[in-house]
Amino acid sequence: MNHQKLLLVLFNIIICLNKAKLDKNNKKLNYLYNYGKRNYKQNKDFELIYENEIHSIYGEKCRKCNKLIGEFKFENYGKIICPGYPRIYRLSLYWNNIWLLGGNFEDGKIYVQRSYDEGINWDNPTQISFYPNHTCSNVDFFELPNHDIISSYRAIGNLSSDNPEIKHNRKLCSSISHDGGKTWEKLGVIVDNFELSLKLGKTKEQAMEACLNEFKIGFFEPFVENINGNITVFYADDFTIMVNQSISSKTEENYRAQNIYAQIFDINEKKWSTQRRIVMDGTIKRRPKGSEIEKRISRNGIPVINKMKNGLYILVFEGTYRDRRYPLVTGGAHLNEYHSFEILLSYSNDGIIWSNPIEVYTPHYNLSKASAPYVVSTDNNQLIISFQTDEDSLPNGFRGDINSIMKVMISKPSINIKDINKNSFYSLCNNNNSPVNGTSIWNGIMIINNILYTFSSNNIIKRSEIPIYSDPNLYNQKLRNQYYLKRGNISTIGNKIY
């Protein structure tokens, strides 16, 4: 009897030990599944081969190399809310890497704030635009070789002014700082519609007439870059087409096209050259690479330039070559009509002669748009492009800039830029976690030490480590979807939302 009891006790102990061992093994398997150890087949779909090593944990940091794998992972950075059309610029070590944050405020002026701790805290705004009776926006910054800082921005005459020379005046202007952005003074005008009209053989009256029906006509979105030693500003211009009637004698027809121009800053004279060259002519009918459409004209705008580590210059801009409603007129008295913008890219060896435009992103629906691009490049020559789109809002009956959200995409490694196309990028990321019908527009991005910082109007700065990628087909789609569902990270277009 005692012997039987002893056997029963031993049997129960063995069962308990096996159960504990099984529970422990299950927990271990779950741990290994969740954190991607390569010895277990359950997690093979979350593994990634990079530089001949196996890494794992999709969308998280690898326990082996401590690098972010497979997806951006954005987080709030600092507490400041960015102003309208924000631009963040990091100064050189000469100025202790001070950050500048510029943008337009509700009073129609441009202000700048400085940060001494890499964007955590900011000082009080300082005005940098000095053109009364004008509404200023579209600021950009650049540090000159002598460490002076120049800003460039657009200025549109007060539309309610009784003085027609104010009401119909359009400018690109600039200011300069000699103390790392602390104080600013007027530098001068880059281009003025009245002065340009005279050079084009037109009168001031014709210049004002060109702006009568189109209050948005003018010069926009300046971006300054060093092009082979020449400090060069790139900008959009639809005034020239309008005053020259380049397309037609009808205002609305001319509004269908816009050009991108470039001008050089004379460092010794500290003024902008009046000579300019055309970079992307929207009046010329083109068929962008990757497009099946017939050749068309385009409203080319918001140019942003980046010089890659391999020396190649990249230009991204918005355009309307693919406008699905073409050739219906848009703009002006027809502002309730719509442009189907897309994101385009061009490349150049010298920053002077540019390739035919290449489509890199077209909006998801026929009447949606993708616009306002920005571009940076990584040390291994991957491109990161941001833009805004209303493609998520359109199915709900909303569209336009006010219903657009910022998105970010990165090109696949080892892509030859001259072969780049829409399929050369990984899936989009909604970096602001903007809801459908939300607003995160007029965006910009910046890379510092393998960290991508993103910013857009009225949003907090975000940041993410730049992840390492491999072919997305290596991931099992079912498990990938489970990962998304677990975290609630699915948007209407299949983009990751944080």
Write phi, then psi, for 296 (nearest 5 degrees).
Answer: -145, 165
pLDDT (0 to 100) of residue 37: 32
Identity at 89, one-letter amino acid code: Y
Q: Hey, what's the torsion of the CAs at 291, 294, 295, 301, to 10 degrees?
A: -50
Which pTM value belongs to this model? 0.83
Asked if 446 contacts 459 with a C-beta cutoff of 8 angstroms, the reply is no
Q: Exposed e or buried b for every residue in 85-96, given b needs 16+ CB within 10 A?
A: bbbbbbbeeebe
Number of C-beta neighbours around residue 124 at 10 A: 7
CATH topology of 74-284 equal to that of 297-468+484-498? yes
pLDDT of residue 322: 79
CA end-to-end span of the chain = 65
Q: Give, for 479, the enclosing helix (H) or strand (E).
A: helix 477-487
User: What is the residue whose two structure tokens read 């960290």?
Assistant: 451
Which pLDDT score, from 0 to 100, does residue 6 have?
57
**54: how many CB neighbours lie within 10 A of its CB?**
14
Report DSSP state, residue 394. Answer: G
Residue by residue, pLDDT tens for the chain (498 residues) are 555 555 555 555 555 555 554 444 444 334 333 433 333 333 344 444 445 555 555 556 666 666 776 678 899 998 899 999 999 999 999 999 999 999 998 788 999 999 999 999 999 999 999 999 999 999 999 999 999 999 999 999 998 889 999 999 999 999 999 999 999 999 999 999 999 999 999 999 999 988 875 567 899 999 999 999 999 999 999 999 999 999 888 777 888 899 999 999 999 999 999 999 999 999 999 888 887 778 889 999 999 999 999 999 999 999 998 765 544 344 333 333 456 899 999 999 999 999 999 999 998 887 889 999 999 999 989 999 999 999 888 888 888 889 999 999 999 887 889 899 998 988 788 899 888 888 899 999 999 999 999 999 999 999 999 987 654 434 334 334 433 333 333 333 333 332
List 382's β-bridge partners, or say none. Answer: none
**Which pLDDT belongs to residue 194?**
96
pLDDT of residue 140: 98
> Dihedral, CA atoms, 139, 145, 148, 152, nearest 10 degrees?
-20
pLDDT at 3: 59
Task: State the Cα–Cα distance between residues 343 and 374, nearest whole angstrom.
Answer: 10
Residue 10 has a pLDDT of 56
Burial 388-421 (b: 16+ CB within 10 A, else e): bbbbbbbeeeebeeebbbbbbbbbbeebebeebe
* Edge-to-edge order in the sheet of strand 230-237: 219-227, 230-237, 259-266, 271-280
Q: How high is the pLDDT of residue 89?
A: 97
In CATH, the number for domain 74-284 is 2.120.10.10
- Residues 178 and 148: their CA atoms lie apart, in Å, by 5
HSE toward the beta carbon, residue 134, CA cutoff 13 A: 21
The CATH class given to the 297-468+484-498 domain equals mainly beta
Coil/strand/helix, residue 205: helix
Domain ranges of the chain: 74-284, 297-468+484-498
